[in-house]
Amino acid sequence: MNFHYHLLINRAAGSGNGQKVADKMLPIFDQYRATYSVYYSEYPGHDAELAEQLAKATLVPWTTENQETLTTFPLLVIVGGDGTLHQVLNTFYQLDLEFPVAYVPAGSGNDFARGIGLSRNTEQAVTNLLNTTEPREINLLTYQEQVTDTKGVLVNNLGIGLDAAIVHATNHSATKERLNKYNLGSLSYILSILRVFFTQKGFPILVDVGGKTINFEKAFLCTTTNHPYFGGGVAIAPTAEAFKPTIDFVVVERINLFKIIWIVILLLQKKQLKSKNFHHFTTSKLRIVSTTPQFGQADGEDIAPQSFDLQFGTKNQSFWCQTKK
C-alpha cells in the first residue's frame, strides 16, 4: 500500500523547535520521494481546527476493508510537542472518531515520546516512520470530570496540586515569553517550582483504587499517568508502561522540607518507592475526589482551581511508529 502523509506542524512548539524539526524532516520526505501535504498551525487552538477538518474530509480508519480497497492511505503525522498531540487526539475523541496517527516529537519535554521509547532524534524518527507499514497499539488514559461535566483523553498525565500549580505559574509567568526567545523556557519552569513549592498546601483527597477506598488528609502532589515520565523526563512512576491497559496513580503527602528533599533524591535515582510518604498504585479502575479547590493540569494544559470528581479509564490508540519498547 502507498501512503500520503498529511503533516500537521506546530512551528511554535518547543519555543520554536517545531520549525527546526520541520526544516530537518521535509528533505527526508523528499529524499524518499514520499507524497505529502503540509498544514501549519498558526495560532493557539489551530491544531484542533486542522485536525477536525482533516478528520471530516480526509482521514479514514485503519480497517481491514480500507487496507484491501485503498491504493493510497491518508496518514496524519503530528509534528509538535505533547500539547499538540493532546489537542489533536482530544479532537478525535470528542468527535468519537478513530484514526491512526504518526508523531514526530518537537516539544521541550517530549515525555510521551520518552515514555513509549520513540526516537527523539528527528532524522531517526522520520526514517522509522517512513519505513513503518502498520500501526502499533498504545494505551492512553481517558477521564471524566463530574463537577464540570468534562471528558478527555491523556497522552501523559493529569495532575492535581503541586505539579498543576507549577504548570499554572509557568504558563502565566511574565518572564516565560522573554526566556523562550532565548531558548531558556526550562528556567521559567524552575523558577515556578521554587515559588510554588513553599506555598502549596496539603489538601484532602478520597481515592477509589479498584474498589478500595483510601483517604489522604494532606496530599501534596497527585498525578495519574500511563507511562513513567512527567516534567521533562522525571520518572515519577518508573514501573508504568504505556503498552498495558493500566492506570498508574501517584500521591506524595505534604511533609517537612527535609523529607521532601529525601524524596527528590530518591526520585532522581528512581527509588522513590522506598519512601513511606510516596504512594504508587497500578489499577484498571480509578476515581479521585478532591473537595478542596486546587489547580489541575491535563497534559500541561491549565485547569482553573476547582473541586474534582474524576473517573479514569483506558483506550487504545493506533500509533504509526517503531519504538524501542
Nearest to 54 by CA among 34, 74, 72: 74
* C-alpha cell at position 174: 511574565
pLDDT at 174: 52
Phi and psi at residue 165, to the nearest 5°: -65, -35
Q: Provide the CB-side half-sphere exposure for 294 (13 A, CA).
A: 33
Confidence bin at 318 (pLDDT 50/70/90): very high
Is the pLDDT at 66 greater than 80? The verdict is yes
DSSP for residue 240: -
Q: Average model confidence (pLDDT) for the chain?
A: 88
Higher-confidence residue of 202 and 274: namely 202
Higher-confidence residue of 198 and 159: namely 159
Of 45-54, 65-74, 294-303, 315-324, the range with the lowest mean pLDDT is 315-324
Is the pLDDT at 257 greater than 70? The verdict is no
Higher-confidence residue of 308 and 258: namely 308
Determine contact, residues 119/50, Cβ cutoff 8 Å. Answer: no
Helix, strand, coil distribution of the chain in percent, nearest 5: 35, 35, 30
Is the pLDDT at 278 greater than 90? The verdict is no
Q: Please return the burial class of 99, using the count of CB atoms within 10 Å of its CB with bins 0-12, 13-18 and 19+.
A: buried
pLDDT at 185: 47
158 pairs with which residues across the strands? Answer: 224, 298
Phi and psi at residue 13, to the nearest 5°: -60, 145
Determine contact, residues 203/289, Cβ cutoff 8 Å. Answer: no
Identical fold for domains 2-134 and 143-317, yes or no, is no
Is the pLDDT at 97 greater than 80? The verdict is yes
One-letter amino acid for residue 283 of the chain: T
Of 14-28, 226-240, 300-314, the range with the lowest mean pLDDT is 226-240
162-197 per-position pLDDT tens digit: 888 877 776 665 554 554 444 544 445 555 566 677
- What is the third-level CATH fold of 2-134? Rossmann fold (3.40.50)
Cut 0.75: pTM above it: yes
**302-313 burial, b if ≥16 CB within 10 A, otherwise e?**
ebeeeebebbbb
pLDDT at 277: 76
pLDDT at 166: 79
Determine contact, residues 1/69, Cβ cutoff 8 Å. Answer: no
DSSP for residue 1: -
- What is the third-level CATH fold of 143-317? Tumour Suppressor Smad4 (2.60.200)
Is the pLDDT at 226 greater than 70? The verdict is yes
| pLDDT over 70, % of the chain | 85
Confidence bin at 325 (pLDDT 50/70/90): very low
**Domain boundaries defined on the chain:** 2-134, 143-317
Q: What is the mean pLDDT of residues 203-221?
A: 93
Cβ-based neighbour number of residue 134 at 10 Å: 10
DSSP for residue 201: P
Is the pLDDT at 273 greater than 70? The verdict is no
Higher-confidence residue of 164 and 267: namely 164
Cβ-based neighbour number of residue 87 at 10 Å: 24
Q: Residue 316, Cα to own-chain centre: how many angstroms?
A: 15
